[in-house]
Amino acid sequence: MRQRDRVFDLAAQVAVAPGARTAELGAGEWLGPRHTAVLDACRVSARPVAELAAEAGLTVGTVRALLDDLVTCGCAVVHPPAPPADQVGARVLGEVIDALRAA
């Protein structure tokens, strides 16, 4: 049994690593169908961990374990979510929309 060092936040964004040779790894014995499904879901754009789990019908723990494997082999990158201070609040977005409507 492997010991997992990484814990991926539910809002962390998962993307296929630039230059990842996923086709070769997928053809080999290393990547399983669940690994491939996670990579396929992220191929076009980054996706949050929670969304990947929901769409794949897997538990968050299972997706986190798959991500640990994918990050270890260099197939995926996981970007932590922005700190709350860096996120635009709903109030600010509402003010922007109101300003655009008034223009």
Task: Report residue 40 CA to chain centroid gap.
Answer: 11
At 49-101, the pLDDT tens digits run: 999 999 999 999 999 999 999 998 889 999 998 776 666 677 777 888 888 88
> All domains of the chain, ordered by start, with CATH?
13-102 (1.10.10)
Q: Find out whether 60 and 10 touch, Cβ atoms under 8 Å.
A: yes
pLDDT digits (tens, 9 = 90+) for 40-54: 999 889 999 999 999
Predicted local confidence at residue 102, as pLDDT: 83
DSSP 44: S
Identify whether the C-beta of residue 38 lies closer than 8 Å to the C-beta of residue 56: yes
